[in-house]
């Protein structure tokens, strides 16, 4: 009887440790911002505040454009407009750094 109680106690302790470790593990493996729908049009360049690429672990490779009003819009990675804006913003950003 003592063996069964000890075994159950150890299993409960192990389960408690695993449950508290799971959220941390999931937080570290979850991808960053991903896109699932894409905007097909273009924005005026003076309306673009920032542009980034989606996380490499995202299923759809894309650009996330942030407007000057703070709205985030997804563009497909194949969008020529988004590629050009990304290049422009990266050149400007690297030129401003010392």
pLDDT at residue 93, as a whole number: 53
Instruction: Render each residue's pLDDT in the chain as its tens digit; 98 residues.
Output: 777 755 655 555 545 544 444 454 444 444 578 999 999 999 999 999 999 999 988 999 999 999 999 999 999 999 999 999 999 888 765 544 44
Q: How many domains does the chain have?
A: 2
Task: Provide the pLDDT for residue 81.
Answer: 94
Cα distances (angstroms) measured from residue 48 to each of 23, 43, 56, 85: 35, 7, 22, 9
Q: What's the angle, vertex CA 5, arms to CA 4 and CA 8, rounded to 5?
A: 85
- Locate tokens 């005026």: which residue? 44
Please check whether residues 58 and 98 belong to one and the same domain. yes
Which one, of 34, 63, 65, 64, lies nearest residue 47 by Cα?
65
Task: Determine contact, residues 67/73, Cβ cutoff 8 Å.
Answer: yes
Please check whether residues 26 and 36 belong to one and the same domain: no
Same domain, yes or no: 36 and 17? no
Task: Give CA–CA dist 74/51, Å, rounded.
Answer: 10
């Amino acid at each position: 009887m003592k063996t069964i109680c000890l075994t159950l106690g150890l299993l409960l302790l192990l389960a408690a440790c695993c449950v508290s470790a799971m959220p941390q593990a999931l937080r570290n493996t979850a991808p960053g911002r991903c896109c699932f729908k894409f905007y097909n049009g273009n924005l005026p360049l003076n309306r673009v505040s920032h542009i980034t690429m989606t996380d490499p672990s995202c299923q759809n490779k894309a650009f996330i454009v942030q407007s000057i009003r703070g709205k985030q819009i997804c563009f497909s990675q194949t969008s020529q407009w988004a590629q050009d804006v990304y290049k422009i913003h990266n050149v400007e950003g690297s030129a401003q750094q010392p």
